[in-house]
Amino acid sequence: MPMTEKRREILETLDLGGLNPGACAGSRWLACRERVIPSISPVDGRVLAEVCTASESDYEEVARSALEAFSTWRLVPAPGRGEIVRQIRSRLRLSKQELAQIITLENGKILAEAEGEVQEMIDICDFAIGLSRMLYGYTMPSERPGHRLYEQYLPLGPIGVITAFNFPMAVWAWNAMIALVAGDTVVWKPSSKVPLCALAVTRITGEVLQENGLPDGILNVIIGDGETVGERLIADPRMRLVSATGSVAMGRRVGRVVMERLGRPLLELGGNNGVIVTPSADLGLATRAILFGAVGTAGQRCTTIRRLIIHESVYDVTLDRLARAYGQVRVGNPFEKKTVMGPLIDCEAVAAMQAALETIRQQGGRVRFGGEVLRGGLFDAGTYVKPCIVETDPGLPIMQQETFAPILHVMRYRRLEEAIEIHNGVPQGLSSSIFTSDLREAELFLSAAGSDCGIANVNLSTSGAEIGGAFGGEKDTGGGREAGSDAWKAYMRRQTNTINWSGEMPLAQGIEFGDFSSRSEG
């Protein structure tokens, strides 16, 4: 099917028009009139559709709806909230193909990865549904006779969810589905680079909320300028938690503003992920995993492998294998099955990659493979590049920062302790991995003297996390945790309760307070 026809069909199936309002409270779409922005497909550089961005008053209406809806939603028993998530899950499952296609069209990731992203939403729904019956708090033995001491988790309030362009649906779902069962309402501010993905999902969730007779304002979306929408949302005291995913620079700003008003920030920021290849590594396995980790999503995952630290005894052989594998990577139309790497998000991302390569050369790094901008046919969109391997020295200043493009820095080490030092010697701390068959090396890497990241793997890539574990990173990555394990606690208000059923008034720590009778009159 020709591209124009295909895109029209995808947009129509998802109920997206040529011009779409950029704000919705539950199932009520607002008549936004602030500014029209295009959604440009990186696949061919053409405009997919347009979006009217939200104004200050649109933001106010959405935030007010979220607060009003909270007063109802928090009283729905958690398993009942889980039932709504179950219905959302069914709809997402039914629309899996179309949702994956709009991700590929708007973001450029290959269809298989886009399907994986939709599956991730379905998986987190499953997790949240189970969680809705497991929001456990502890009961502790009280030191006072006739007293009961326990903790309970209560809904927190409306929460803001800010998402990056590279996971235009899944990161929202990680937050929103957990927030829903927690009893919170959600205001989603997606990246303006991928607005249609957010609108498509909101149409689906809006239908479910409406069919269940729930008030507007439980799941909301708002698309707009940083000044009008983003800054307003982070400064808004009604947003009790702001979960923000994106660059470190964005996180610094969001963290400051949210903390200033003593709100809760949950920050999921940039990575600079390293992999150590030891002499005992299974090199076949390592090559495949590194290829997926470094080239997948065109190097635009927060968990993308950016630094490869190889033992000197296996350096040449690993690099040769990798360069051969890179030579077979098919860059092209992300809808075609054989394509392994689609375009970068836009021409600015390509320019940033080229600028980084120039800096790498100036600083003494050597390009071993790729890096070129591709041209001709579809490539004239200006968004397609060859993935790149750079031989480098651990001290290269540019390696301290995350270049959000498929550039893999490769370097040597002699002793594992030295490799770990190189590995930890960057400001970010998201994901990490070691390839080894030596138990001692693996355990050292996972110990307190090992990787300083939020995620540390053995014999697999840094990317491709499952939703069951808590996801997030340390240092400049922001310290937030999302998705699995007990990450749900950030979305709830913990309350410690003590009940005195004794008729006496014993004080904690055995304090004797004055010479009064401790027996109550009743």
302 is catalytic: yes
Closer CB to ligand NAD, 69 or 234, in the complex: 234
Which segments of 124-240 are extended strands (E)?
Answer: 139-140, 147-155, 158-162, 185-189, 219-222
302, 388, 402, 482: the active-site residue: 302
Give me the residues that bind ligand NAD (CB under 6 A), please: 162-167, 171, 189-192, 226, 230-231, 234, 245-247, 250, 253-254, 268-271, 302, 402, 404, 430, 473, 477
Closer CB to ligand NAD, 144 or 253, in the complex: 253
Closer CB to ligand NAD, 230 or 371, in the complex: 230
Closer CB to ligand NAD, 82 or 251, in the complex: 251
Supply the minimum distance, in Å, between the C-beta of residue 257 and ligand NAD: 7
Query: Distance between CA 286 and CA 275 in Å, rounded?
Result: 10
Q: Are 237 and 269 in contact (CB under 8 A)?
A: no
Query: Distance between CA 86 and CA 219 in Å, rounded?
Result: 15
Q: Two tokens at 96?
A: 């899996």
Supply the minimum distance, in Å, between the C-beta of residue 227 and ligand NAD: 9
Supply the minimum distance, in Å, between the C-beta of residue 349 and ligand NAD: 8
Residue 509 is classified by DSSP as: G
* Angle made by CA atoms 162, 167, 169, in degrees to the nearest 5: 75
Q: Two tokens at 376?
A: 């001709």
Supply the minimum distance, in Å, between the C-beta of residue 405 and ligand NAD: 11
Q: Are 252 and 62 in contact (CB under 8 A)?
A: no
Supply the minimum distance, in Å, between the C-beta of residue 84 and ligand NAD: 25
Closer CB to ligand NAD, 261 or 324, in the complex: 261
Q: Are 187 and 234 in contact (CB under 8 A)?
A: no
268 is catalytic: yes
Closest CA to 296 of 171, 465, 452, 437: 465
Tell me the backbone φ, ψ of residue 421, rounded to 5 degrees.
-65, -45
* Angle made by CA atoms 134, 137, 139, in degrees to the nearest 5: 130
Supply the minimum distance, in Å, between the C-beta of residue 312 and ligand NAD: 30
268, 402, 441, 482: the active-site residue: 268
3-state secondary structure of 234: helix
Q: Are 141 and 149 in contact (CB under 8 A)?
A: yes
Closer CB to ligand NAD, 69 or 221, in the complex: 221
Closer CB to ligand NAD, 184 or 346, in the complex: 346
Q: Which residues contact 403 (CB under 8 A, 6 or more apart)?
A: 306, 352, 353, 356
Supply the minimum distance, in Å, between the C-beta of residue 162 and ligand NAD: 5
Query: Distance between CA 195 and CA 347 in Å, rounded?
Result: 18
What residues act catalytically?
Answer: 268, 302
